[in-house]
């Protein structure tokens, strides 16, 4: 598969604190990549760098390179970047009562010039995207009044209208119940576009991502398939918790269990789980 | 869309009715046909012609565009700062204008330029308002937190008010009175040239908003989300703030302090029409214009042989409106 995104020696230092250090990885077209790691590992910061949202100031130094289709990201203007990356942020709370259609329509902004007028074709695109995420009936509903899962789907519909080649999701399953966690990730997987997302739930990441990036203290500790990345030793070190690894009997993906119990007690934990 | 295509023509009709009503009220008694004849250039006598063209028409037209301008400024500030309480006056504009007017009164009255006060006062008020906005933006920029513009505005507002009051306390009583009355707001001194100036800025602001309305809408979901759609958040916010400052400062300079219009009207429009920028701004312009014409009618006709400062009425209506909103929100909760 063609390489779509290259990250080389990416470092970000803010207020004399290393946020990201020497990050290198490639992203191929159509890959679904999960970034995992403890709080403060630099997952969201990495996403912000990828979407060019970090400003270089006196207190914020950014170095290294990001190449999008073999061209350095800083050679793209903001509109071009918005045509390539669509971001679904961790928390979106509009202050006023915007409708679902109002929000999805925003995805057209990078593709319109200042003087263009909304056409019937735009309306069709919005409706089509809403149908794709299963919310074709909800275009006039108020965004605030939807459930967390429905709100995430609206934002994914906006990303679809944005026609981005790479979908960036920051904790898409946060605050969602089990049904919506699986529903959203299944939906994301079915879109057949490149997806880079941060995920707190390692088992969900293992089940839905082809590739995982494990981060710790601003560094990329491991990059590979869930089977390569999710090892007891690595996870115990990064999360500072004893951990146990099993193969999920249904999905056959690695399944991780953490416990505060001492490593010597692992056998008992395993026994408990098996019982 | 159907709702919008019904409400906008209705609001245009209300605006036309308000303009007609504004022309009909006043101390000089005139019949509707006399007013109509004067408007179409067939005035029966010179006095009626003078009253219509030199007093009532400028006053009604300035009320229309001032109401439009203040409501548009409020709507834009609320959407660009994502704060439903944002209002041109909370950004230090009125206190800056007050300081400018105070300095003009105190400094110029005693100088040979004293006779030029009718030009100097609005000019100084305009410069004072712009000065306040520049300080607010500089503070927010220094803190590298443009989202805290409103807090910086409140701080600057208090600082400039304190400075104004200090100068007035030691000032000459006549000049002090003049500033205080000016700050209460009135349309009794306006001329047709004021209408042209305010209308030009209102039209310019409206044109820029029509072009940028989608970008402003993107801000409603937060800065990060807007930036991810290719919007240059800081530049857009600064441009909008500059436009609102120029708009409010011009209105304050000619009409004095007229509070609550920018805060109240967008709240009504959101309930009636919608929250996205284009709907909000067009609705605010139409309702704001009509609102100020009617407030001016009340100001002229509520008391016999006296005029109530317009700012007192808008503030009283504004506070009642917010109490009503609070009660309604509580009941619906």
Burial grade of A178 (CB within 10 A; 0-12, 13-18, 19 or more): exposed
| A138-151 pLDDT per residue, tens | 889 999 899 888 89
Instruction: Give the count of beta carbons closer than 10 Å to the beta carbon of residue B27.
Output: 11
Cβ atoms of A47 and A170 closer than 8 Å: yes
Q: Do B231 and A96 touch (CB under 8 A)?
A: no
Domain limits of chain A?
3-230, 231-275
Q: How many CB pairs under 8 A join A and B?
A: 73
Q: Does B4 touch chain A (CB under 8 A)?
A: no
Q: Which helix (H) or strand (E) holds A221?
A: strand A219-224
Helix, strand, or coil here: A28? strand
> Does pLDDT of B1 surpass 60?
no
Task: From chain B, pick out residues whose CB is under 8 angstroms from the CB of A94.
Answer: 220-221
Instruction: Give the count of beta carbons closer than 10 Å to the beta carbon of residue B186.
Output: 20
Q: Does A57 touch chain B (CB under 8 A)?
A: yes
| A127-140 pLDDT per residue, tens | 999 998 888 888 89
What is the domain range of residue B67?
2-332
Task: From chain B, pick out residues whose CB is under 8 angstroms from the CB of A95.
Answer: 82-84, 220
Angle (nearest 5°) at CA B89 between B87 and B93:
130
| B248-302 pLDDT per residue, tens | 888 988 888 888 899 999 999 998 898 999 999 999 999 999 999 999 999 988 8
- Residue B60 has what pLDDT? 95
Cβ atoms of B131 and B123 closer than 8 Å: no
Task: From chain A, pick out residues whose CB is under 8 angstroms from the CB of B221.
Answer: 92, 94, 98, 103, 106
Packed helices B277-301 and B261-272: angle between N→C axes, nearest 10 degrees: 130
> Does pLDDT of A262 surpass 60?
no
The total of structural domains in chain B comes to 1
Q: Does A107 touch chain B (CB under 8 A)?
A: yes
CATH code, B139: 1.10.3470.10
Q: Do A106 and B228 touch (CB under 8 A)?
A: no
Strand order in the sheet with A60-68: A17-28, A3-14, A60-68, A71-72
For chain A, what percent of residues have pLDDT higher than 70? Answer: 94
| B19-66 pLDDT per residue, tens | 999 988 877 777 778 888 888 877 778 888 888 888 899 999 999 999
Select, from the ranges A234-243, B62-71, B178-187, B220-229, the one with the highest average predicted confidence (pLDDT): B62-71
Tally the residues of chain B: 333
Task: From chain B, pick out residues whose CB is under 8 angstroms from the CB of A162.
Answer: 229
Model ipTM? 0.83
Q: pLDDT category, B241, cuts 50, 70, 90?
A: confident
Q: Does A161 touch chain B (CB under 8 A)?
A: no
- Closest partner residue to A106 (CB to CB) among B83, B227, B229 is B229
Select, from the ranges A61-65, B12-16, B36-40, B259-263, the one with the highest average predicted confidence (pLDDT): B12-16
Select, from the ranges A72-81, B110-119, B176-185, B287-296, the one with the highest average predicted confidence (pLDDT): B287-296
Task: From chain A, pick out residues whose CB is under 8 angstroms from the CB of B232.
Answer: 78
Question: Chain A: residue nearest B221 by CA?
Answer: A94
Cβ atoms of A202 and A37 closer than 8 Å: no
Report d(CA A13, CA A42) in Å as an integer.
11
- Residue A199 has what pLDDT? 92
CA distances, B49 to each of B23, B64, B297 (Å): 12, 21, 20
Report d(CA B285, CA B206) in Å as an integer.
9
Cross-strand partners of A170: A198
Q: Does A96 touch chain B (CB under 8 A)?
A: yes
Report d(CA B23, CA B36) in Å as an integer.
10
Q: Does A114 touch chain B (CB under 8 A)?
A: yes
Task: Tell me the DSSP string of A131-198.
Answer: HHTT-TT-TTSBGGGS-HHHHHHHHHHHHHHTT-SEEEEESTTTT--HHHHHHHHHHHHHT-SEEEEE
Q: Does A60 touch chain B (CB under 8 A)?
A: no
Cβ atoms of A114 and A60 closer than 8 Å: no
A3-230 maps to which CATH number? 3.40.50.300
- Residue B130 has what pLDDT? 85
Q: Is the pTM of this model over 0.80?
A: yes
Cross-strand partners of A243: A258
């Amino acid at each position: 598969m063609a390489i779509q995104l290259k990250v080389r020696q990416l470092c970000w230092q803010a207020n004399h604190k290393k946020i990201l250090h020497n990050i290198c990885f490639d992203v191929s077209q159509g890959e679904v990549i999960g970034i995992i790691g403890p709080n403060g590992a630099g997952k969201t910061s990495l996403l912000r760098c990828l979407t060019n949202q970090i400003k270089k100031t006196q207190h914020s130094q950014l170095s290294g390179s990001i190449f999008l289709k073999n061209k350095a990201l800083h050679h793209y203007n903001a509109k071009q970047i918005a045509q390539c990356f669509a971001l679904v942020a961790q928390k979106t709370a509009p202050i006023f009562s915007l409708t679902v259609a109002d929000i999805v329509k925003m995805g057209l902004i990078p593709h319109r010039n200042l003087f263009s007028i909304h056409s019937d074709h735009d309306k069709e695109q919005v409706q089509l995207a809403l149908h794709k995420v299963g919310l074709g009936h909800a275009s006039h509903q108020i965004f605030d009044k939807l459930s967390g899962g429905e709100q995430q789907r609206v934002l994914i519909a906006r990303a679809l209208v944005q026609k981005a080649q790479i979908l960036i999701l920051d904790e898409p399953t946060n605050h969602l119940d089990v049904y919506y966690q699986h529903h959203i990730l299944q939906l994301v997987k079915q879109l057949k576009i490149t997806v880079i997302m941060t995920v707190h739930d390692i088992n969900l990441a293992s089940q839905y991502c082809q590739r995982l990036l494990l981060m710790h203290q601003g560094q990329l500790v491991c990059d590979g398939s869930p089977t390569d990345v999710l090892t007891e030793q690595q996870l115990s070190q990064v999360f500072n918790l004893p951990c146990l690894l099993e193969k999920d009997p249904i999905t056959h993906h690695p399944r991780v269990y953490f416990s505060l119990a001492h490593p010597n007690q692992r056998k008992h934990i395993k026994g408990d789980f098996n019982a | 869309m159907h709702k919008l295509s019904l409400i906008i023509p209705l609001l245009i009709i209300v605006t036309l009715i308000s303009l007609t009503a504004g022309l009909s009220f006043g101390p000089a008694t005139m019949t509707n046909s006399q007013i109509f004849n004067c408007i179409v250039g067939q005035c029966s006598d010179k006095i009626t012609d003078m009253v219509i063209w030199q007093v009532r028409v400028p006053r009604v037209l300035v009320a229309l565009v001032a109401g439009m301008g203040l409501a548009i400024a409020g709507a834009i500030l609320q959407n660009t700062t994502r704060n439903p309480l944002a209002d041109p006056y909370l950004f230090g504009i009125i206190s800056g204008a007050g300081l400018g007017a105070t300095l003009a009164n105190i400094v110029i009255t005693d100088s040979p330029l004293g006779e030029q006060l009718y030009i100097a006062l609005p000019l100084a008020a305009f410069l004072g308002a712009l000065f306040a906005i520049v300080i607010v933006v500089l503070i927010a920029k220094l803190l590298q937190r443009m989202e805290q513009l409103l807090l910086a505005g409140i701080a600057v507002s208090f600082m400039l008010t304190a400075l104004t009051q200090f100068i007035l306390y030691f000032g000459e009583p006549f000049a002090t009175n003049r500033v205080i009355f000016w700050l209460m707001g009135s349309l009794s001194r306006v001329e047709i040239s004021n209408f042209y100036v305010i209308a030009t800025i209102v039209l310019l602001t409206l044109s820029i908003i029509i072009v940028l309305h989608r970008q402003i809408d993107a801000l409603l979901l937060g800065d990060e989300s807007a930036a991810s759609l290719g919007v240059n958040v800081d530049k857009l916010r600064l441009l909008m703030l500059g436009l609102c400052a120029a708009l409010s400062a011009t209105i304050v300079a000619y009409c004095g302090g007229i509070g609550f219009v920018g805060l109240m009207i967008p709240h009504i429009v959101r309930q009636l029409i919608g929250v996205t920028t284009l709907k909000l701004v067009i609705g605010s312009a139409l309702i704001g214009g009509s609102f100020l014409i009617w407030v001016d009618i009340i100001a002229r006709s509520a008391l016999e042989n006296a005029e109530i400062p317009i700012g007192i009425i808008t503030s009283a209506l504004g506070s009642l409106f917010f109490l009503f909103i609070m009660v309604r929100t509580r009941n619906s909760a």
